Structure formats: structure tokens, C-alpha cells
Amino acid sequence: MAKLVFGMNQSLDGYVDHTAFAPGPKLFRHFVEEAERQAGSLYGRRIYEIMRYWDDKHPEWDADEQAFAAAWCKQPKWVVSRSLTSVGPNARLVEGDLEGAIRALKAERDGEIEVAGPVLAQSLTELGLIDEYRIYLHPVVLGHGNPYFAGPRPRLRLIAHDRIDEDVVRLTYVPA
């Protein structure tokens, strides 16, 4: 059975914003290795559209960027959206009964499936479907944006913490 893992970069004040801060080289390499191991990714529409950047090849990419793009393109992707009518390569739309579709996905797969996007994570948290939360805490204060926890705050238990990069700590939680 697959495990759903919601992990994102977060500011000290609890916001996620890919335009406000980016991973350094060591953290980016960590994300490459995660993408290579994942059984797939589950996206909300907005984050999926942002991540489609990795579908195209860019000659200016360094080796890690090329490796991330290769891993991202290779893995299956599921996109939860009421507005999209089609998705890109190696991706499938999740329509209809979200809970039933995600429970079936978890049952038919093994390994970790990344959950991307705080709005989707909110829906999956409300349904009790997220198995692990990974907060990559950056020393940045944004004061605005999308909160990591966009809805109800689940009761959590810390199971691990480690320094990933010079200034970034990963906090790993499971539902309590």
C-alpha cells in the first residue's frame, strides 16, 4: 500500500510560495533523490501547472536540474482538478469521488506518493488520507501567501527532524 506524503518548503511563519524562496543546491539534490524514489506525485491544478515546467528540456539546466526533470517526467502523476480537461505526459486526471479515487490509488500502489499543493493537502487531510507531513523549514518570513496547512490543523506527532541544507531543517510528522 502506498503512503501519501505532503512535503513542501515553508517559511518560518507558515507559508509556502515557490516564488519567494528556492532550494539551494544541497536541498535541490535532496529533492532529485526523492523524485527518483517516489512511486508518483499527486497534484492540485495550480501546482501541476507550475511543475509542467519540467516537461520541457532547457539547455541551460545543470546536471541536477536535468536529473530532476528526468525523474519527474518518468514518474506517474495524478492531477485533481475540476477545470482541466486534459493533462500532460504520464499524467492522469482524478475526477469524481476524490476519497474513493485516492483510496484506490493508495491500495494499488506501493511506495511514497508525493502530495503537492496546500489546497489539495487540505482536502486530503480532511479525509484522513495523508500519512506523513514533511516541512522543509526555511529561515524566511513572508507575512502572506498560502499557508502550509490551508484548513483544519491536524493533530500531529513529530517522528524525525534533520538538517538538509545549511539553513533548512526538515520536520517529519505523522497524524497523532
Fold (topology level) of 2-175: Dihydrofolate Reductase, subunit A (3.40.430)
| Annotated domain spans of the chain | 2-175
For the stretch 91-132, pLDDT in tens is: 999 988 999 999 999 999 999 999 999 999 999 999 999 999
For the stretch 31-77, pLDDT in tens is: 999 999 999 999 999 999 999 999 998 999 999 999 999 999 999 99
Angle at 40 between CA 39 and CA 46, to 5 degrees: 160
CA gap 82, 80 in Å, rounded: 7
Query: Pick from 29, 116, 133: which is nearest to 79 by CA?
Result: 116
